[in-house]
């Protein structure tokens, strides 16, 4: 059965999800995460993709990205998955697929969903009971927004910048938002978050 045509985002922003085949681990060690980051940076630099939020879990990845057009997001996904699969198969002497077929993408069509989707992405390790708090998960954008930690992969979300002109106040408001957000259920109902 052919796949449903992907929806084009009017804002150019997508929640992008890619999973390991049969939900198998795709990141076993820190150097695997470093390699994945390196591939994202390489493609991002050459093609103008903006990454607002991310979280790398052991068997899947969530990102909130501005790609403009779906075609650019598709090329980004293909590039990163193909190159990482080559690295993974060589390193772990693996044969077969590393990733599930394709990727999932959800259109983010309203600015107020930018922060909520970022919150969902960064709370993923907490929901999975890997950590007790989002700041404990290293492979996430949370500390960039909540604490001002440097991260050259990220472009600050316009919704985040709109929280306050003062960076310390913005960080405080973001930390509070991550703990108290209320839009989550509506986004889940609209299918913007994935699983």
CATH number where 66 lies:
3.30.70.1290
- State the pTM of this model: 0.89
At residue 195, the pLDDT reads: 46
Question: How far apart, in whole angstroms, are the C-alpha atoms of residue 11 and residue 70?
Answer: 11
Lowest mean pLDDT among 58-67, 105-114, 186-195: 186-195
Domains of the chain: total: 1
Residue 137's SS3 state is coil
Residue 146 domain-assigned?
Answer: yes
> pLDDT tens digit string along 65-122?
999 999 999 999 999 999 999 999 999 999 999 999 889 999 999 888 899 999 999 9
Average pLDDT estimate for 133-162: 96
Residue 22 domain-assigned?
Answer: yes
Question: Please, what is the angle between helix 30-47 and helix 70-92, to 10°?
Answer: 150
At residue 160, the pLDDT reads: 96
Residue 5 domain-assigned?
Answer: no
**Within a 10 A sphere around the Cβ of 181, how many other Cβ atoms?**
16
């Amino acid at each position: 059965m052919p796949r449903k045509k992907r929806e084009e985002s009017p804002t150019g922003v997508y929640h992008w999800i890619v999973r390991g085949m049969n939900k198998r681990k795709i990141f076993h060690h820190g150097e695997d995460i470093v390699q994945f980051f390196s591939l994202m940076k390489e493609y991002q630099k050459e093609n103008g993709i903006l990454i607002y939020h991310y979280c790398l879990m052991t068997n899947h990845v969530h990102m909130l990205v501005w790609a403009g057009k779906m075609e650019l997001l598709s090329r980004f996904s293909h590039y990163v998955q193909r190159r990482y699969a080559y690295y993974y198969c060589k390193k772990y002497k693996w044969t077969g697929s590393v990733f599930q077929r394709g990727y999932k993408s959800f259109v983010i069509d309203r600015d107020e969903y930018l922060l909520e989707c970022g919150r969902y992405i960064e709370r993923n390790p907490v929901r999975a009971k890997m950590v007790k708090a989002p700041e404990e998960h290293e492979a996430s954008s949370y500390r960039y927004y909540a604490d001002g930690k440097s991260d050259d992969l990220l472009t600050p979300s316009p919704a985040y910048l709109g929280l306050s002109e003062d960076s310390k106040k913005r960080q405080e408001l973001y930390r509070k938002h991550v703990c108290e957000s209320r839009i989550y259920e509506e986004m889940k109902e609209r299918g913007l978050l994935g699983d």
